[in-house]
Structures are given as structure tokens and as C-alpha cells.
Structure 1
Amino acid sequence: MRYELLGPLQVSDGVGNFFLSAPKMEMTLATLLIGAGRVTTKEQLVAELWGARPPRRASAALHVYLSQLRKFLATAGDRDGRAILTKPSGYVLNLEDAGYDVADFQELIRAGRAHQGAGCHEAALESFELALLLVRGTVLDGMAEGPALCAFAAWVEAEQLDCLELSVESRTALGRHREVISLLDGLISQYPLRESFYRQLMLVLYRSERQAEALRVYRRAQQVLRTELGLEPCRSLRRLHQAILTSDRVLDLPMAS
């Protein structure tokens, strides 16, 4: 079995994919998944499903959802019925030998960082790209409403953006400037408030002897941030802008090959 939560929730038995059609059951399984291996209390599940206003028979409804989930997982490959264990205070999703895309995502990013720290940028880039491929869309198709699921969805987006930044760093270190410029143009259009993408684009343009374009990127960032947030660019972006204006030699440091 394999669980995939980095996008629409699905479970695979190695042959086909299985999906839940009932949103409450989907949120129940997702909540158990983000706490896999630990007890998720009944109170936590109720909070995820109904917030501060649960129905009068919330416990009975939850019992039905768990019963139906066990049947669903049996169809998806949990033949011995050990995927969801009942504990005195709640339930535990037992992964055992099951695959889990979130665990794979975390491990690939850890490996990429380790490779990058060792200067092995080809291997780092491969790990980052594999991690990014695991993200199939927004968690639960954007239907997450409870505190734990919303926090998890925000974490996934933050990790995805960090991974994109790291992949750009490795591409830049490998001298793939034209590819990096094209990639960053797209990322800035998609995430216009992410200042680090402007910084990366300014630096690679400057090092590609395109100083005027690098300065235009700063003005673009400044305009967007003022319009959208009423803020000036962060200190590191302002320092980079000044360094580019003065052709500071520190920007000419050779990049790793």
C-alpha cells in the first residue's frame, strides 16, 4: 500500500489508485495520516471535521467514518485490518510497510541538502526535482479547513517553495544560467511576493553580464511589494541592489562547477 497526501488524497495497492468520494471521510484519513504512528484523539478529529460547532452526535458520526475507512483501506490493500488501530484515547494510523509520499518528500529534501552541502550539485538537483514531482497539487484539493490540516497544507507549500529555491541554487552552481533565468521568471509570476526569487534572478542576471536587467528586476520587486503589502524590499534585497549598482566585486565570486 501507498498513501499520497501531497495533493488530492489517494491510496494505491500497487496496481490501481483508490479515492474517497466523501469529504468528511477524506479529511478523517488525512488527519490520521499527518499524525501517522501517533495517537490522534477523538477530540482532534472532531475539531478537524466540524471546528468549534460539532453536531450533537459527532462521536457516532466519527465512529461511522472510521468503520467506513477501514472497509475502504481493506479494498486498497489493508488485508489484515491493521491500518487503523483503536486506542483508549483515539486512533493510530499504522504505516508499517506502507509507502507514504510525505515521508519520501522529506527524505529527498534532506538528501538534497546534504548533497548540496558537500558540493555535489548534480545529485542535489536530482533529489530536489524528485521531491518536487511528488507534489501533485494543493493538499486535499484545497478543502482543508481544520487547524491541523490547514497547518499541514501551509507546511507543504513552504517546503515546496524552499525546495524550488534550493534547486535554483544547484542549477546556478552548475552554470545553467539560461535555464535558471527562464525558471525564475516563471516562479516570480507565480509567487510575486517571494523576495528570494527576485534575489536569485538579480544575481544570475548580473553574473551573466546583464546588469541593467538585474536592476529592472529590483524595481519590479519594489513596485509589487509596495502595491501589495505597502512594504519596501527586505534588507538583503536592498543590499544586493546596491552591490549591483556599484559593481561590487564580491558578486563576481566564481560559481562551483
Structure 2
Amino acid sequence: MKFEMLGNLSIRDGERYLEPRAKKVGILLAALLLRANQVVSIDRLVLEIWGERPPRRATAALHVYVSQLRKLIPPDPVSGHPIVTRSPGYLIQVNAGDLDVNAFRELLARGRQLMRTGDYLGAIAALEQAQAFPRGDELARLGEGPIVSGFATWLTEARLEMLEMATECRLMLDHHHELVPGLHALLREYPLHEAFYRQLMLALYRCDRRADALQTYRKARALLQSEIGLEPCASLRELHHAILHDDPKGMRLSPVG
């Protein structure tokens, strides 16, 4: 049995896909999976599902949702049902390889490690595998509880980090020509992410497009000033100075990760 969280929240039992129909049951499943093999207290689950102002009979309602979830998930013929009652709450027993979030985390960690050791092709391969997972937008719609919303925030940041690392690896491999269109697209999606401006400026400079690189800095500076009232970060300013003065030392890559 496999548990999938990064696309539609679902349980894959052979060829069958089982999905919780009720939103609160989905929140319960997501919270338990994100704390897989750990006890999540009743108080934490109540907070996750209803926030700071739960209904009077929230604990009784939670027991009903747990019962519904147990009916949805088929028990294992050997180990029994994965959802276990254990004081002061519940846990779900999941093998590490049966949860897509674990695979995503492992690929991200492998990409970081390979990048640190200078295996840029290997890092790109691992990061591309991680990027192939769905974005996890379903989790962001499930609610504002600290477990689920905290993970949704982490996932957004992790995807940005992956994009940045993969781009940095390709710059290390002198793939600057092919990076320019993709970086323009990334900046349309993440217009305040300064690392992408730095990478685009460097790629343009290496493509003998010095004027475009300087224009990119001017656009970034104007946008940052108008949107958040800040000057570009130090690394962006330093790269701008290096491009202005054709200073190769100021254009050295500092691998992220």
C-alpha cells in the first residue's frame, strides 16, 4: 500500500486509488502521514482540523473521522490496520518507501550532496526526479493547521531551492545559452526571487549579452524598490559591479545547497 500526498491525497492499494471525500478526514490523514510512525496527540489533531476555536464536541467528532479513515484504508493481512490508537492520540504506521514525501525528501538531499561534491550531472538527475513529483497544491488547500500548512510552506521553499540548485549546476557545466529562456520564465513566476536574477545576469553575460545582463539588474532593482522598498541583496549588487567592470573574480559561482 502506497500513500501519496504530493498530488491528490490518496492511498494506492494495488490498482485502486482511495481518496478521503470529506475535507476534515483528508486533513486528519495528511497530519498523520506527515508525522508517520509518531503519535499525534488528540489536542494536536483537534487544532489541525478546527484551529483555535474547535466545536464543543470536537474530540467525539475526531473519533468519528478516525473511524471513517479506518474504513477507507484496508488493513494489512499481516500487521493489521496502519492507524493505531496510542496515548495520547493516534499514529499511522508507514514503511519509509511507501510515502511519496519521503522519496521527495531523499532526492532533494541526494541532489544537495552531489552538488557539494561537484557531481553536477548527478545532482541535476536527482533534482529533476524530485521536480517530477506533483507540486502538492492539494495540501495547501486542506487547511491552516500547523502540521499541514507548515509542510506546504516547506514544500514551496524546497521546490524553489531545487530550481535554484539545478540552475546553478547547469551554470557550473556552462549551459548558459539554454538557461536564459527558462530563467525568464522562472522570474515571471517568482518575480521577487533574487537568486534567479543573479543566475540570469550571469547566463546573459556568458552569452556575450552584457547590456542585457545590466538591464536585468536595473529591472530587478526597480521592482524590489517598488514592491518591498529594498535594494537588491549583496550578491546581486556584487555581480552587477563585476559585470560593469568585466571582473571575472566577481563572477565566480558559489554553489548553493
TMscore range, shorter length: over 0.9
Q: Which runs of 5+ in 1 are unaligned?
A: none
Q: For each residue in 1:89-111, what CA deviation from the matched residue of structure 2 results, as whole angstroms up to 9, or x when unmatched?
A: 01111103651111101111111
User: Equivalent residue for 1:44?
Assistant: 44
Report the counterpart of residue 29 of structure 1 in structure 2.
Answer: 29
Distance 2:140 2:150 in 1: 15
Kept in 2: contact 1:47–1:146 (CA 8 A): yes
1:154 corresponds to 2:153: yes
Quick one: structure 1 residues 253 and 229, their matched pair in 2 at CA, closer, same or farther if it must change by over 3 Å?
closer
Superimposed CA distance per residue, residues 200-253 of structure 1 (whole angstroms, 9 cap, x where no aligned partner):
111111122111111111111112111211111111111111111111121566
Residue equivalent to 2:135: 136
For residues 97 and 243 of structure 1, what CA distance do their matches in structure 2 show?
47
Distance 1:227 1:142 in 2: 30
**Deviation for aligned residue 1:137:** 3.7
Contact 1:139 1:153 in 2 (8 A): no
**Separation in 2, partners of 1:92, 1:128:** 31
Give unmatched runs, 5+ long, in structure 2.
none
8 Å CA contact 2:139–2:149 kept in 1: the answer is no
Q: What SS does the corresponding residue of 1:91 show, helix, strand or coil?
A: strand
Give, in angstroms, the shift of residue 141 of structure 1: 5.0
Partner of 1:55: 55
Per-residue CA deviations over 1:22-66 (Å, capped at 9, x if unaligned) read: 100000000101111111000000001111111111011000100
What's the offset of the Cα at 1:127? 0.3
Q: Indicate how the Cα distance of structure 1 residues 254 and 102 shifts in structure 2: closer, same or farther if over 3 A, else same.
A: closer
After the TM superposition, which of the residue ranges 184-193 and 115-124 deviates more from structure 2?
Answer: 115-124
| Partners of 2:172 and 2:253 within 8 A in 1 | no
TM-score (structure 2 length as normaliser): 0.92
Partner of 2:110: 111
Q: Give the distance between the partners of 1:252 and 1:152, measured in 2 at CA.
A: 35
| 1:44-123 correspondence runs (5 A) | 44-74=44-74, 78-79=76-77, 81-96=80-95, 99-123=98-122
Say whether the 8 Å CA contact 1:6–1:156 is kept in structure 2: no
Q: Does 1:228 align with 2:227?
A: yes
CA deviation vs aligned residue, 1:62-96 (integer Å, no higher than 9, x gap): 0010011011111xx74554311110101111103
TM superposition outliers: structure 1 runs of 4+ over 3 Å: 77-81, 251-255
Identity score, percent: 43
What's the secondary structure of 2:73's corresponding residue?
A: helix
Give the drift of 1:17.
2.1
CA shift at 1:118, angstroms?
2.2
Amino acid at match of 1:50: W
Q: Is the 8 A contact 1:36 1:94 kept in 2?
A: yes
Alignment correspondent of 1:16: 16
TM-score (norm. length: structure 1): 0.92
Residue 8 of structure 1: how far off its partner (Å): 2.9
Judged with a 3 Å threshold, the aligned counterparts in structure 2 of structure 1 residues 21 and 198 are, in CA distance, closer, same or farther, namely: same
Alpha-carbon RMSD across the aligned residues, in angstroms, is 1.9
Contact 1:207–1:252 under 8 Å retained in 2? no
Check the 8 A contact 1:7/1:141 in 2, yes or no.
Answer: no
Please give the alpha-carbon distance, in whole angstroms, between the structure 2 residues aligned to 1:240 and 1:17.
50
Query: Does the residue aligned with 1:21 lie in a helix, a strand or coil?
Result: coil
Match of 2:248? Answer: 249
For 2:219, the aligned partner's letter is R
